[in-house]
Structure formats: structure tokens, C-alpha cells
Amino acid sequence: MAHEITIRDDGFAEAAFSMTPAWHGLGKVFDHPMTSREALTGAGLDWNVIQQPIGTLDQNGQWSTLDGYYANIREDNGVVLGVVSNQYKVVQNIEAFQFLDRLVDDNSIRFESAFSIRGGRKVILLARMPGADEVVKGDHLLRYILLSLSHDGNEAIRFGPTSVRVVCANTYALANRESTIRDLVVPHKGNVESKLRQARYILATLSQEFAAHVDIVRQLAARKLTEQEWADFLDAVCPPPPPTIGKRLARIMEAARDEVTQKFRQSNQNLPGIEGTAWAAFCAFAEFMDHLPRRGRTEQDRYETRFNVCLFGDGQARKDHAFSIAQEIAGLAA
């Protein structure tokens, strides 16, 4: 299963979400933004990691402790999560929630999602910062903070701002591609608590990246396209069929161009304030890509295929390209 959400023997899925269910349909869904306590217990993440020495049996059946290494074990069910060195410092799940709670002084942090994957080897938390950035009236961009713990010892603590609503292993991988998440890491060594305290100040600086992205989107939403500029955008993201192509493929390509054009001119991209803009052009193409029919044996398979194509591979690459084209046509540095 691509989501990799931990499912216990009794069928309980270690996941919780605010307001909107995840695409995979697993976990508990709250009808309001979650507090840290609700997210921790709703996702069943209120278990601890303990460390036990490990060793080997020699040919005579004698047990020898392997010096300098320990097994990270889930205290609630005894599952071995990974083998780590004696320099590894465990950060418990509840400590990660407490760290995010302290990011703002008035305790207004609310959690969008909380879940574990691969049996608890990785725990992922997504918190929503207070407020939202308004592109135009009625069109908002939310600011999320992502934090992940790797209890198997294969990865440092990762954290940072993201625009991705992380609900599974796939969306975590997508968010992890963002430079801020890749670069903000805290090794499970030394004074981990002190390093996490420093992260609060780093995140304050990185909020400037959010502001820069919002500024670009606002400029796109303020830039009306001429008919020629729209045609240039369409040709760049959905090229017209070349003369040498077969009739069937030509019809498919023309149908795609017609559908993107229809979404640009008539669909819900006509939110007051963005009609006919470079932002509406990008949104029309993104909507087209996200709703293409996908193959699969079952409805769930088709849903998952659409999800993966939209966020990874060709679908995501084409949307990235479209965003760059929209900036170029609007006269912004892509």
C-alpha cells in the first residue's frame, strides 16, 4: 500500500486528521482543528520508544553483547524499529508534539495530521500555523509546519515549512523535496533538546520563503493575459498536435487543449479577482492534470494512481513546468 500507514493487528490505523479525510480513508477524522493532545491520542501515537542492548550467539551458544549498539523498540508492542549506535538520542513522540506547541507563544498551533508509517519506524506531524495568506479575496494559501521522527535510526529529525498537506508516505516524500525540509535536520545525537530550541528561531527566518511564494502568486493573480499570451501559455503546456501525428492522438491532444481552455474561461477559476490572469491559467492546467482519468483494477487503485501521478512523476513535472511558464509570461523570474 503506497500510503504505508501503520495498521495494528486489531485494525486500528495510527493516523488522525483535521476536518478533511485523507485520500486513503484511514485514521480518525476530527470535525475541528486538532490540539496536540487530540492528535497524539487520536492517532494512537502515545507510545514510547525504549532501548535495549543487542548481541549475538557464538558457536557454543554463548551470548555476547554488541558494544555500542542498541535496538529501538516500541514499548507497547515490542516491535523492533531499528538498530542504532549508543550516540543516538531518542526523541519521544510526545516531545515532538510539545516542540511544535511551543513554536508560537499563545499555544494557537493546531494539527492538520499526525500518523506513523512502517510500523512506527517514522512518525510524521503536520501543524498549521495561525493565519493564512490571501491571494485575492476568497483564495487563501495555508502555512504548514512539518516534523518527522525516524525511530529506525535511518534519518535525522526533519522539520520546516511546507505548502503540502501531508497525509501519508507519498505526500511526506513530496514535502521532503522542498529545500526547507531537506535542509532543516537535527541529528539524534548530542543535545537534541537544545537543537530543537534553536529550530524555533530558524523557522521564524524561513517564514520569509512563504512570503516570497505568496508574493509571486499575488503577482500572477494581478497579471491579466492577452489573447496571444494565453495562446502562448496553452501551446507551452499543451502543445498542438504536429502534422505527422496520427489522427487518434491528434484528437486526444486537441481535446486536452479544449478542456484546459474551457477551465480557464468558464470554470471555477473565475473567482472574482483572478479571471483571465496568469494565476487562473496555471490553476486551470493544474485542475486538468489532477482530474485526468487514471487506470486501475479497482476504484481505489485508480484513485491511488491519480494521486501518485498528480504529486509525482509526469503530473507534478508538468504542473511545475506550467508554473514556470506562467511566471515567464507574466514577466516574473521563474
Cβ neighbours, 10 Å, residue 80: 14
Q: For the segment 291-314, what is each residue's pLDDT rounded down to a tens digit?
A: 655 455 565 544 444 444 433 346
- CA 143 to CA 168: how far, in whole Å? 18
Mean pLDDT of 205-226: 79
pLDDT at 23 over 80: no
pTM of the predicted structure, to 2 decimals: 0.62
Instruction: Using pLDDT thresholds of 50, 70 and 90, give the confidence band for residue 288.
Output: confident
Q: For the segment 51-82, what is each residue's pLDDT rounded down to a tens digit?
A: 999 988 878 878 888 888 999 999 999 999 99
Domain extents in the chain: 15-206, 223-329
- CA 213 to CA 205: how far, in whole Å? 14
Q: For the segment 223-246, what is each residue's pLDDT rounded down to a tens digit?
A: 999 999 999 999 999 889 888 888
Top pLDDT among 265 and 14 is at 14
Instruction: Using pLDDT thresholds of 50, 70 and 90, give the confidence band for residue 274.
Output: confident
